[in-house]
A and B are shown apart, each in its own frame.
Chain A
Amino acid sequence: MSILTVPRLRRSGRDWPGHRLVVADELPLDCGAALGPFTIAYQTYGRLNPERSNAILVCHALTGDQYVADPHPITGHPGWWTTLAGPGGVLDTERYFLICANVLGGCMGTTGPREINAATGEAWALDFPVITIHDIVRAQKLLVDRLGIEELFCVIGGSMGGMQVLQWASSYPDRVFAAVPIAAAARHSAQNIAFHEVGRQAIMADPDWCGGRYLKEGRNPSRGLAVARMAAHITYLSEAALHRKFGRNLQDRNQITYGFDADFQVESYLRHQGSTFVDRFDANSYLYITRAMDYFDLAAEHGGSLPAAFARRQPRFCIISFTSDWLFPTSESRALVHALNAVAANVSFVEIETDKGHDAFLLHEPELFATLRGFLTGCAEQRGLPRFWT
């Protein structure tokens, strides 16, 4: 009856593909602490041109990672944005140099709560400092500095990735030519914080969580993490999409069983989502990264004024929302558009009609592709990027 019976521990990440940057300096964090030395695990696609002007920083979402366009080293699934990134794609790796770094606090190689704290020789667990979206972006900027890139051609991302895009545009506007926040918002709403709290409570209520020290105890709060994922996954979809995919259809049976087994297909689907998630994600990372999203409020950094967050200088913006996204609804994007209009920024805004909910940015959505392709092509012309180079 339980969704998971055998807690599985993760494989070591030493042999995962991609690059690692070890930063010896300390990174000052919003919480007042400093982190260092620390590691940024990142992946790149395509080639940086001699002018170093064709770099696109891809920012991943809450449970994403740096494997944008190649198979995930644990699950073997294709990269999470293969719909966009690849040779000839919207994020054309024959034209652009894509960079994606695992976020600070993550669990795919960048320093986070499951990595070893040099001071103690044990996993950081809850000794890891609480990080913010700004901290995540500070770490990314260090990486971009080290790669010798003066100005990113574009910073793009969906959901929490979109928050990072906005932070980049606000904090380092002279380092970004074009910014594309998709299905994002300038602050996390009360409803979204509430959903995150449900997820965190599910993890912390799991006896295997052990006050965060589960790695030391040789345990894994898989049940709690799976429940957190199940609850969150509902928010990524829409009522219409759930109805279209599952309706009230029963799972491998002709009638209800008058029990608590997964009678309905939608239950079976969610249990599957929960159980596969725990194989690739760390429970403490989930706590830290959801907290970073909760704390995100760009206007609050600027005395409560969102236009002030973009007052200094603005990259070209392309803001995209989806009609059925109730987690980051169009009203959030429109508030952003108005703030950017107030500082006369160069901004495009498209609301795309779809029933796929928040997850639409990860799915096959031809209007999204056409919009992005047009925006990026226009920006590339303005930036003077050649169509191809050798």
Chain B
Amino acid sequence: MRTAAALRLAADAPPEAAPAPGELRSDLRLIADMIDPNSRVLDIGCGDGALLAYLARDKAVDARGIELSQSGVNACVRHGLSVIQGDADRDLDAFPDGAFDVVVLSQTLQATRQPRHVLEALLRIGERAIVSFPNFGFWRIRLSLLCRGRMPMSPLLNNPWYDTPNIHLCTIRDFVALCDELGARIERSLSLDRHGRTIALDPRGSLANLFAEQGIFVLAAGVAAASGKRRMAR
């Protein structure tokens, strides 16, 4: 028997079901496959928490997230995920060194104010960083700019130039150069075509920079950068 108060309370939405693994975006699916079960993962710019929910459920991962939008954070917390409202530029400095096994930054690096500082922070707080980003060197983007003379738009970069969060776009070559500059070790890299399928191309070669619509990189701090690291006792 439910009271009137209970009926009123029951009208509030129950927790929604987390997205099924089959619905994962293609790059998130690839990232998920790179993460070991039972590891500690921080997903920066986790959106509605699709990756975190999958990792927590199917890989028993200790999954945490940071998301800028209130709607995204609320959706995550409603799904029982540990997510804080914040952004990569402001909220990474508080984390201790080596706090996570893996830090994920998917399709977000280009939207940060200080990508270099963010990348350094990722390598500091994570044993590994997985970074995915749209490749501005993709042939369609080059061709679009060349032929149309307008800022390119694509399924991954679908905002007009005056209304885009993507303020620091780069090519795969740019990204590799920055990794070298930071002394980051590229442990693995994947090139994805425009259907989200992996294509076997060397990230340092010019073909990847031309034919990959996006790149996914697994990075670890180089020997020099890692020597100053302090393992956080948990």
Contacts and interface: CB of A to CB of B under 8 A. Distances in A.
Given A346-B64, A350-B73, A87 B79 contact: no
Contacts of B77: 318, 348, 350, 371, 374-375
A318 B83 CA distance: 9
Interface residues of A, number: 39
A83 B12 CA distance: 10
Contact of B3 (A87, A353, A371, A378): A87
B79 A374 contact: yes
Given A88-B9, A342-B96, A350-B85, A379 B80 contact: yes
A201 interface: no
B195 interface: no
B78 A371 contact: yes
A57 B84 CA distance: 24
Contacts of B79: 374, 378
A351 B79 CA distance: 16
Contacts of A86: 3, 5-6, 9
B86 A337 contact: yes
17 contacts: A88-B2, A88-B7, A337-B84, A338-B94, A341-B95, A346-B62, A347-B82, A348-B77, A348-B84, A349-B84, A349-B86, A352-B74, A370-B12, A370-B78, A373-B12, A377-B15, A378-B15
Interface residues of B, number: 34
Contacts of A369: 12
Contacts of A352: 70, 74
Interface string B94-115: 1110010000000000000000
B228 interface: no
Given A318-B77, A351-B70, A89 B14 contact: no
Contacts of B13: 366, 370
A339 B70 CA distance: 21
B81 interface: yes
Interface in A274-331: 316, 318-319
The 7 closest A-B pairs by CB, nearest first: A378-B80, A374-B78, A89-B9, A349-B84, A338-B94, A88-B6, A341-B94
Contacts, number: 105
A343 B95 CA distance: 7
A94 to B, nearest CB: 8
A319 to B, nearest CB: 8
Contacts of B74: 350, 352, 367, 370-371
Contacts of B148: none
B80 A89 contact: no
A374 B15 contact: yes
Contacts of A273: none
A340 to B, nearest CB: 8
A214 B220 CA distance: 70
A141 to B, nearest CB: 26
Contacts of B5: 82, 86-87, 89
B96 A343 contact: yes
A149 B74 CA distance: 31
Contact of A349 (B6, B7, B73): B73
A183 to B, nearest CB: 15
A381 interface: yes
B199 interface: no
A56 interface: no
Contact of B9 (A90, A351, A377, A378): A90
B101 to A, nearest CB: 12
A47 B96 CA distance: 41
A67 to B, nearest CB: 14
A348 B96 contact: no
Nearest to A380: B80
Contacts of A33: none
Contacts of A381: 80
Given A344-B99, A344-B234, 13 more contacts: A86-B5, A86-B6, A90-B9, A341-B84, A346-B82, A348-B73, A348-B77, A348-B82, A350-B77, A350-B85, A366-B13, A370-B15, A373-B14
